[in-house]
Amino acid sequence: MQPIIIFFLSLGIILFLTAKLRLHPFIGLILTSVITGILAGEASTIIETITSGMGKVFSHFAIIIASGSIIGLILHRTGGAKLIASDIIIISKKPLLGLNILGFIFAVPLMCCILAYVIFIPVAREIRIREGLPKVLTASALVFGTLASYNLVYPSPVVYSAVYELGIDSSDILIPGIIIAFIVSVIGYFYAVRFCKTGGISDITIDTDTENGNIKTPGRIAAYSPIAIPVALILADVFTNIPLFGILGEPDMALLIGVVMAIVFAYRQYTFDSVRQWIEKAIKRSGVVILDMCGGGALGATLAMTGVGQEIGDYLAVLPLPAILVPFLIAVAIQSVQGSRVVTMLVAPSIVIPLVPVLGLPPEIVLFSMASGTFLISHFNDPFFWIYKDLAGLETSEVLRSYTLGGAVMGISSLIFTEIAYLFFY
């Protein structure tokens, strides 16, 4: 069977299983991965491919997600997240825009849009409660900010390798990338405000099951330290060559330090049993998120095994399209098949670089065109899809409408502003 047919069949199957039958995403993703492998004629290696895809995701994100879940729940139960949310509301006057900017600022320094989202989603939750907003609205305002800078701003891992493969001076794309990314982030914010207001009354009221009735207002050091210290350690690792920060600033280690700080500060005001129960509940919640992410990794690995990304890229390369659309669509094809933005920008240049002389575009424009394509089409094989869904407590349909469609709007907007930059400055 042709890889492109397998690709669309796989998307249809996972959509039917998770959205229509409401089967748990992990089971739906694994079953779809098995079917994909069989259709591709790789039945003998399908389990190995599935476990390999799951293992890569688990090794990269298990500690981050579990630690972020613990920090978030402790901050929520101790009132720390509420204090941070109050400060953002006071400072920004527009808390949703403040969330968007928060994600935009920290995604690149943290070298991971997922990490930025995990760290700040507890704050988004408290803003949702205080302002009476639908959870999809606050979560999408935050996530769109993280995506905008992570996909477009150097030295994000998304663009880092492509800069050198295309022979671009980093100083030539830093400022244009920041400008385009900021505009795209604001567009994402307005998309969230306009199209992500869905949700019943249960979505905008306090969840009494997770609310601590005896919250004692913490000090700002106790509230901010579990978030600020890990962020500071990661930034120190990025911007210095000090060996100590190379250890402490590694994201897994930094967040574990944040967990310890959150526990220590909580013990000062609450009983051992209370804090222990919060930790256990956070671990259970994170387990669901990690399983869904691993399922996405399995599907991404099996789709990549079919070779559909390369096939689509080769096909697009010979079509009579406007030059700026070719790198964009090749990146879209690869992103939609395997789900990782970093992988997309590792694979797409190998297809696009031989075409650069024919396209007649400056390398900077080629780069931003490909980077714009990484916004589209993020779906079930994207680990961030499931992190966004589970940590915000959303339905699959809400994620498709906000994260997937919103990302598409941002990607097309990014391409448009890339074209404007090309017309006026190159």
Q: Which amino acid is at 245?
A: F
Alpha carbon distance 10, 16 (integer Å): 10
Q: Packing angle between helix 363-373 and helix 135-152, nearest 10 degrees?
A: 150
Contact 37, 43 (CB under 8 A): yes
Model pLDDT, residue 8: 82
| DSSP one-letter string for 339-402 | --HHHHHHHHHHHHGGGHHHHT--HHHHHHHHHHHTTTT--TT-HHHHHHHHHHT--HHHHIII
Start-to-end CA span in the chain (Å)? 44
Q: Is 367 exposed, middle or buried (0-12, 13-18, 19+ CB in 10 A)?
A: buried
Q: What is the SS3 assignment for 119?
A: helix
Model pLDDT, residue 262: 92
Model pLDDT, residue 358: 80
Model pLDDT, residue 148: 96
CA-CA-CA-CA dihedral for 182, 131, 209, 391, to nearest 10: -10
Q: Which amino acid is at 256?
A: L
The secondary structure of residue 45, as a DSSP letter, is G
Model pLDDT, residue 110: 66
Alpha carbon distance 308, 229 (integer Å): 43
For the chain, give the longest Cα–Cα distance. 68
pTM attached to this predicted model: 0.75
Alpha carbon distance 159, 241 (integer Å): 22
Q: Which amino acid is at 209?
A: D
Model pLDDT, residue 177: 92
CA nearest neighbour of 383 among 333, 343, 332: 343
Q: Is 236 left (phi over 0), alpha (psi -120 to 50) or beta?
A: alpha
Angle at 149 between CA 258 and CA 374, to 5 degrees: 115
Residue-level pLDDT, tens digit, the chain, 426 residues? 788 888 788 878 877 887 778 788 888 889 989 999 999 888 889 999 999 989 987 887 788 888 888 888 888 888 887 788 788 778 878 889 989 998 898 887 666 788 788 888 888 888 888 888 998 999 999 999 999 998 998 878 788 778 888 888 877 888 899 999 999 999 999 999 999 876 544 443 344 444 444 566 788 898 889 888 988 888 888 788 888 998 998 888 988 999 999 999 998 888 889 999 999 988 988 887 788 778 878 887 887 788 776 677 677 767 788 989 999 998 898 788 777 787 788 777 877 887 788 888 999 999 999 999 999 888 887 888 988 998 888 888 899 999 999 999 999 999 999 999 999 988
Model pLDDT, residue 257: 94
